[in-house]
Amino acid sequence: MFETTVAGSLPKPAWLAETNKLWPQWKASGAELDAAKADATVLALKEQEDAGIDIVSDGEQSRQHFVHGFLERIEGIDFEHKVEMGIRADRYKAMVPTVTGPLRLKGRVHATEARLARAHTKRKLKFTMPGPMTIVDTIADRHYGDKVKMAMAFAALLNEEARGLQADGVDTVQFDEPAFNVYMDEVKDWGIEALHRASEGLTCTTAVHICYGYGIKANIDWKAGLGGEWRQYEETFPALAASRIKQVSIECKNSHVPIDLIGLLKGKDILLGVIDVANDTVETPEDVVATITEAMKHVPKERIFPCTNCGMAPMRRDIAMAKLSALGAGAKLARERLA
């Protein structure tokens, strides 16, 4: 009951990469960088275990960014000439690579860190990858000429890697789709179909993380303009409920998403965001229990998995760790009182 997990990323140690940045530069290169990534991965697992996280991740310590970390092993993408592109419906600009030819995996993408993580924890292991819609929203195209066609091509590659991760012993494969609250019609038209393609044939647990973005300035400014109640999910939750994806990860702590909307995710496990990643105030275990108590009014308690609102990559590391401890302690308290 109330098994805890994280949305995915954790802050990187200062000896691995620049801190407090969404697109940090690595502090080493070559074999030295590979060793540093491995050390950081083992450390991230240990810190999650100590904090009381039940379903742990590699903390995304081996990738610079949650989207481009996957793209780096794909043939047909030009990384040399990055172009500026407005992403998430022009919410902010990013320098992105370009698809220039047919897409193909050069080999396994995350085998090294997945196998390392598997070897160093007995807890359930979750692995995250960007979802197809979010990928095509974060890359320029000079080859496919059609967003859906390109998304399905990426979905096929994600599926290849997801099957590999499953064979490596990963318990949950999660696709991150922050684009799902921006293009509501497209979610229903092809976004979920693309997720189905990406998760085809998997027997491990499947999850999708949807959210209003990291706590970076562009997102905070955008959220400020969305009004008092964020009802975007009202359109997409019924479609997600009908999907084959088992778990849905959403932000609830300090969120303007009306909590009753999670009732629309019938039959799904809810990875309930009880930890805000957009501010540095550390939640108390009581705060965590309060969010769980609210959620229990709308979904059966056995379907609630306390989680962080979103990735913690750009956060201060000491604060992120304190928040993880609050998550673990809060879930323990909730088990004692509510289970």
Binding site for Zn ion (CB under 5 A): 211, 310
CB-nearer residue toward Zn ion: 96 or 312: 312
CB-nearer residue toward Zn ion: 166 or 219: 219
Q: C-beta of 249: minimal distance to Zn ion in Å?
A: 8
Q: How far apart are CA 272 and CA 314, in angstroms?
A: 20
Q: How far apart are CA 285 and CA 332, in angstroms?
A: 9
Residues 6+ apart with CB under 8 A from 82: 95, 96, 97, 98
Helix (H, G, I), strand (E, B) or coil at 165: helix
CB-nearer residue toward Zn ion: 98 or 138: 138
Q: Are strands 205-209 and 172-176 parallel, antiparallel or unpaired?
A: parallel
Q: Is the dihedral of CA 222, 225, 227, 233 positive or negative?
A: negative
Q: C-beta of 258: minimal distance to Zn ion in Å?
A: 18
Q: C-beta of 21: minimal distance to Zn ion in Å?
A: 16
Helix axes 147-167, 192-199, angle to 10 degrees: 30
283-297: buried (b, 16+ CB within 10 Å) or exposed (e) per residue?
A: bebebbbbbbeebee
Q: C-beta of 106: minimal distance to Zn ion in Å?
A: 27
Q: Any long-range contacts for 41-46 (C-beta under 8 Å, 24+ apart)? A: 41/113, 41/116, 41/117, 41/120, 42/116, 42/120, 43/13, 44/10, 45/117, 45/120, 45/121
Q: C-beta of 176: minimal distance to Zn ion in Å?
A: 6
CB-nearer residue toward Zn ion: 44 or 67: 67
CB-nearer residue toward Zn ion: 259 or 338: 259
CB-nearer residue toward Zn ion: 8 or 330: 8
Q: C-beta of 229: minimal distance to Zn ion in Å?
A: 19
